């Protein structure tokens, strides 16, 4: 069954919290749409990202770019993501997919496919990911007969999907990355979140950064940002929620925020609302999270993040997405080849578009051609993620 199709046998009941949740979703959506941080990507006469967009991003910690991906690109993404889901390990650690074929990622050393109990919270209140999700979210009861676990996330996604790789090379999005993080911006990591109706797991409230919180040089952009491109759009019920402005307030005590609210429904948070093809930019320092998906809508987010070079160069980090290491210039350069491959993959599919010129690899663009040798070259590429 296609990812977008609704299976009537799943549960769309948020349980004892249903009424409070419905009111919270409605209020949050209205407040989100009144913030004024959404619209097409715009550049000024000198080719710089429009100042009002940057101002809103730095003030609120997120912005929704509307209409970035067209119908062709969305169709490519849907085909690829459907295929990856079909070819994923049938359960955590399995070597075969649901059809008994060798599963994708079975020969990867880096972490790839992640599984959770339907409507569960795999991170909240655990020590996983450096313990950065302190409070468990409410876990609605899945329908009788639901599988014990569902795949909700895969990492290293650019090696599994050319369509995701081409989104990664989108010229306007890369220009936004340069405007926010500087022309010498670097990769972080890439992921695809798959939240099926009546199944999709929650992601407990958290702030993403783990390294620089105590640095005297910490500012609102130190831990970079994620782009969140939406295949089917996202709603208050199935999307990511953000506490506006929290990215600029340092490390916050999330357990205290939840205790003060009396529930996981943080009163200041708002949902990121997107149509298919919209791409949100979300500051990694912002308090954010998502609820179990008891809506009737599938959410597929193509996630990819970027850093300032100064935040990763010669920094000792890792342990969440990749093994602990010092990120020297050679590693950053090698990891950055994904940007160069992505630009070339996009040029081949959309020849009328003006490709982005990535400054750190400008002297060797001819070297990075997207072909079979490149495909082999990026196997397990996310071992070199630049997680901070």
CB of 229 to ligand AKG, least distance (A): 11
CB of 310 to ligand AKG, least distance (A): 21
- Contact set for ligand AKG, span 282-341 (CB under 6 A): 288, 290, 301, 303
What's the CA gap between 47 and 134, in Å, rounded? 42
Q: Output the DSSP codes for 75-120.
A: HHHHHHHHHHHHHS-SSTT-SB-TTSSBPTTTT-SS--EEEE-TT-
Whose Cβ is closer to ligand AKG: residue 108's or residue 286's?
286
- Contact set for ligand AKG, span 183-202 (CB under 6 A): 193
- Eight-class DSSP state of 43: B
Whose Cβ is closer to ligand AKG: residue 28's or residue 344's?
28
Decide if residue 226 touches ligand AKG (CB under 6 A). Answer: yes
Contact track, ligand AKG, 240-269, x by CB under 6 A: x-----------------------------
What's the CA gap between 37 and 60, in Å, rounded? 8
CB of 337 to ligand AKG, least distance (A): 23
Whole-Å CA distances, 268 to 51, 171, 258: 26, 34, 11
- Eight-class DSSP state of 156: S
Nearest to 248 by CA among 277, 299, 281, 286: 286
**Axis crossing angle, helix 171-181 with helix 51-60, rounded to the nearest 10:** 60
Contact track, ligand AKG, 84-123, x by CB under 6 A: ----------------------------------------
**Burial track 308-323 (b if 16+ CB lie within 10 A, e otherwise):** bbebbbebebbebbbe
What's the CA gap between 42 and 50, in Å, rounded? 6
Whose Cβ is closer to ligand AKG: residue 190's or residue 344's?
190
Q: Using the rule CB under 6 A, which residue among 203, 236, 286, 332 binds ligand AKG?
A: 203
Supply 164's token pair.
């995701």
| Residue whose Cβ sits closest to ligand AKG | 290
CB of 172 to ligand AKG, least distance (A): 21
CB of 232 to ligand AKG, least distance (A): 13
Residues at the site binding ligand AKG, with contacts judged by CB under 6 A? 193, 203, 208, 226, 240, 288, 290, 301, 303
């Amino acid at each position: 069954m296609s990812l977008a199709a609704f299976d009537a046998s799943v549960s769309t009941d948020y349980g004892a919290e249903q009424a409070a949740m419905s009111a919270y979703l409605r209020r949050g959506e209205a407040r989100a749409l009144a913030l004024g941080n959404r619209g097409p990507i715009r550049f000024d006469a000198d080719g710089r990202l429009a100042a009002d967009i940057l101002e809103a991003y730095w003030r609120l910690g997120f912005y929704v770019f509307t209409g970035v991906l067209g119908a062709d690109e969305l169709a490519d993404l849907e085909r690829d993501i459907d295929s990856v889901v079909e070819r994923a390990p049938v359960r955590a650690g399995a070597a075969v997919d649901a059809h008994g074929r060798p599963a994708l990622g079975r020969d990867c050393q880096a972490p790839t496919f992640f599984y959770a109990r339907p409507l569960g919270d795999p991170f909240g209140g655990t020590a996983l990911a450096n313990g950065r999700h302190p409070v468990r979210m409410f876990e609605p009861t899945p329908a009788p007969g639901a599988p014990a676990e569902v795949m909700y996330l895969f990492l290293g996604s650019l090696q599994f999907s050319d369509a995701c790789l081409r989104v990664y090379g989108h010229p306007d999005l890369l220009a936004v990355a340069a405007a926010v993080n500087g022309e010498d911006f670097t990769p972080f990591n890439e992921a695809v979140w798959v939240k099926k109706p009546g199944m999709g797991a929650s992601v407990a409230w958290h702030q993403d950064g783990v390294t620089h919180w105590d640095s005297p040089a910490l500012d609102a952009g130190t831990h970079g940002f994620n782009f969140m491109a939406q295949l089917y759009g996202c709603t208050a019920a199935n999307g990511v929620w953000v506490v506006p402005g929290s990215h600029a307030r340092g490390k916050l005590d999330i357990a205290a925020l939840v205790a003060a609210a009396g529930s996981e429904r943080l009163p200041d948070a708002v949902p990121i609302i997107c149509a298919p093809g919209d791409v949100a930019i979300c500051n990694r320092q912002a308090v954010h999270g998502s609820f179990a998906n008891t809506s009737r809508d599938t959410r597929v987010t193509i996630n990819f993040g970027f850093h300032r070079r100064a935040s990763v160069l010669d920094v000792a980090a890792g342990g969440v997405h990749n093994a602990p290491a010092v990120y020297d210039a050679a590693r950053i350069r090698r990891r950055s080849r994904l940007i160069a491959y992505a630009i070339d993959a996009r040029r081949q599919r959309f020849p009328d578009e003006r490709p982005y010129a990535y400054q750190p690899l400008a002297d060797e663009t001819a070297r990075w051609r997207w072909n079979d040798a490149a495909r082999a070259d990026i196997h397990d590429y996310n071992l070199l993620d630049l997680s901070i």
